[in-house]
Amino acid sequence: MVFLPQEVIARKRDGLDLTFDEIARFIAGFAEGTVSHPQAAAFAMAVFFRGMSMDERVALTLAMRDSGTVLDWSHLDGPVADKHSTGGVGDNVSLMLAPILAACGIYVPMISGRGLGHTGGTLDKFDSITGYNTNPDNDLFRQVVRQAGCAIIGQTADLAPADKTLYAIRDVTGTVESIPLITASILSKKLAAGLDCLILDVKTGSGAFMPTLDRSRELAQSLVAVANGAGMKTGALITDMNEPLASAAGNGLEVRNAVEFLAGAHQDPRLKEVTLALCAEVIEMTGSATGTEARRKAEDALDSGAAAERFGRMAEALGGPADFVENMDRHLATAPIVRDVFATGEGTVIEIDTRGVGMAVVALGGGRTRPEDTIDHSVGFDRLAGLGARVGRAAPIARLHARDEASAAEVERRLQAAYRLGDTAPQNDLIADRLAPTT
Set 12, 25, 83, 125: catalytic member: 83
Set 142, 164, 189, 313: catalytic member: 189
Identify whether 85 is a catalytic site residue: yes
Set 112, 178, 185, 275: catalytic member: 185
In residues, how long is the chain? 439
For residue 415, which of 400, 426, 432 has the smallest C-alpha distance?
400
Identify whether 12 is a catalytic site residue: no
Instruction: Find out whether 308 and 328 touch, Cβ atoms under 8 Å.
Output: no
Query: What does the radius of gyration of the chain's CA atoms come to, in whole angstroms?
Result: 21
Set 25, 57, 66, 82: catalytic member: 82
Identify whether 55 is a catalytic site residue: no
CA-CA distance, 88 to 244, in Å (whole number)? 7
Identify whether 82 is a catalytic site residue: yes
Give 273's contacts (C-beta < 8 A, 6+ positions apart): 430, 431
Identify whether 84 is a catalytic site residue: yes
Set 84, 233, 310, 401: catalytic member: 84
Identify whether 170 is a catalytic site residue: yes
Set 12, 142, 164, 190: catalytic member: 190
CA-CA distance, 329 to 310, in Å (whole number)? 19
Q: Helices 213-229 and 54-65 meet at what angle, rounded to 10?
A: 60
Identify whether 247 is a catalytic site residue: no
Identify whether 233 is a catalytic site residue: no
Identify whether 203 is a catalytic site residue: no
Set 122, 206, 234, 288: catalytic member: 122
Set 12, 25, 65, 170: catalytic member: 170
CA-CA distance, 161 to 185, in Å (whole number)? 11
Set 61, 67, 85, 247: catalytic member: 85
Q: Residues with catalytic annotation?
A: 82-85, 122, 170, 185, 189-190
